[in-house]
Amino acid sequence: MLEVTLLGCGGMLPMKERWLTSCLLSCQGHSILVDCGEGTQIALKCAERKTIPVDLICITHFHADHISGLPGFLLSMGNEGRTDPVTIAGPPGIERVVKSLCVIAPNLPFEINCMEAEPGTAFQSGLLTVTPFEAKHSVRCFGYSVELHRKARFSPEKAKENSVPMKIWSLLQKNGKAEYEGKSYTYDMVSEGERKGLKVTYCTDSRPADTIAQYARNSDLFICEGLYYDPEKYDRTLKTKHMMFSEAAAIAKRADVKRLWLTHFSPAVQEPEQGLGYAAEIFPDTECGCDGKSIDLLFEDTGRC
Ligand SMILES: [Zn+2]
Ligand SMILES: [Zn+2]
């Protein structure tokens, strides 16, 4: 199972009932935090989630509404007893920015490893595969695609064909390889067929770009910025290099995703639901995000992980 929780969906400034941008993805005891706007440590508490499982923090770009919550969040992790290292990935310059922010969060009880993400180059965090991609904002900005791959189906017929002793079948399913009576066996000797995994793509802040549709392709959940919905705000959206509800929906349609959640609403958008129609007429499976909105994504055929 892959659990996705929107911690905050505000753009630019926090509101009384809307935290700044942040999203948590959790899978089997490991979590990834994407963006860490001011107050994310509080948003996390409101959503009744913990900092401890967060092994990776992915930053989209260096605008305050996406990263200024980092010192407080790291201090919270320390207070909750984290001692394992934490990786913070982001655009080039991430180390300088994190080091600067950490001046006010000294003596953390865990190591921080900064990693300059490279668009198109996937990396692993727990069971999840993360692929950064280029967005199109006023500063360098990355979106992130997160995938939970799935092993091929176990096949007793194939195991018998390959003369794999029954005694090690479960070991092969668990570990992917096994030794028995001096011979080595691998999982591909007892499995066949590809199985669809799970995919979540997150992108904010950006103008529409081919890369977004490309990396969001076939996502089970696409979380995308919708700063405004009112067509009168289009010029402003264009100028500040953000995206309208309708533009996010057009990408969702083109990328053939299963569902779209809008996020990063302007403080001027008091009730995002009022603009939902602008997106839903293009891509019907659109929902407006809200703080604490959560979904458990399950594998298609079994409904299990
Ligand atoms: Zn922003
Ligand atoms: Zn921005």
Could you tell me if residue 213 is inside a domain? yes
What total number of domains does the chain contain?
Answer: 2
Q: Does 159 lie in the same domain as 32?
A: no
114: nearest Cα among 37, 33, 57, 38: 57
Could you tell me if residue 260 is inside a domain? yes
Q: How far is the CA of 203 from the centre of ligand 1 (A)?
A: 11
Q: Does 177 lie in the same domain as 201?
A: no
Domain boundary among 191, 209, 241: 191
- Quick check: 172 and 185 in contact, CB under 8 A? yes
Could you tell me if residue 305 is inside a domain? no
Q: Does 33 lie in the same domain as 87?
A: yes
Q: Does 177 lie in the same domain as 47?
A: no
Q: Does 174 lie in the same domain as 74?
A: no
Could you tell me if residue 304 is inside a domain? no
pLDDT of residue 302: 61
Q: Does 179 lie in the same domain as 144?
A: no
pLDDT of residue 305: 43
Could you tell me if residue 303 is inside a domain? no
Q: Does 35 lie in the same domain as 6?
A: yes
Residue range(s) defining the domain that contains residue 174:
154-191
Q: Does 172 lie in the same domain as 44?
A: no
Encoding tokens for residue 243?
A: 């995206």
Q: How far is the CA of 11 from the centre of ligand 2 (A)?
A: 8
pLDDT of residue 65: 97
Q: Does 253 lie in the same domain as 185?
A: no
Q: How far is the CA of 137 from the centre of ligand 2 (A)?
A: 7
Averaged pLDDT, groups of 10, the chain, 305 residues long: 97 94 96 97 96 96 97 97 97 98 96 98 96 98 96 90 92 88 91 90 97 98 98 97 98 98 97 98 98 95 56
Q: Does 175 lie in the same domain as 36?
A: no
158: nearest Cα among 123, 195, 188: 188
Ligand number with the minimum distance to the CA of 226: 1
35: nearest Cα among 88, 113, 108, 110: 88
Ligand number with the minimum distance to the CA of 266: 1
Strand segments (E) across the chain: 2-8, 22-27, 30-34, 54-58, 86-90, 112-116, 123-125, 128-134, 142-148, 153-154, 177-180, 183-186, 191-192, 198-203, 221-225, 260-263, 286-288, 294-297
- Any idea what the CATH number is for the domain that residue 57 is in? 3.60.15.10
Could you tell me if residue 237 is inside a domain? yes
Could you tell me if residue 302 is inside a domain? no
pLDDT of residue 279: 98
- Cα–Cα distance, 278 to 287 (Å, whole number): 11
Could you tell me if residue 27 is inside a domain? yes
Q: How far is the CA of 49 from the centre of ligand 2 (A)?
A: 26
Q: Does 245 lie in the same domain as 284?
A: yes
Encoding tokens for residue 276?
A: 């939902």
Active site residues: 65
Q: Does 79 lie in the same domain as 216?
A: yes
Ligand number with the minimum distance to the CA of 8: 1
Q: How far is the CA of 34 from the centre of ligand 2 (A)?
A: 14
pLDDT of residue 176: 85
pLDDT of residue 303: 52
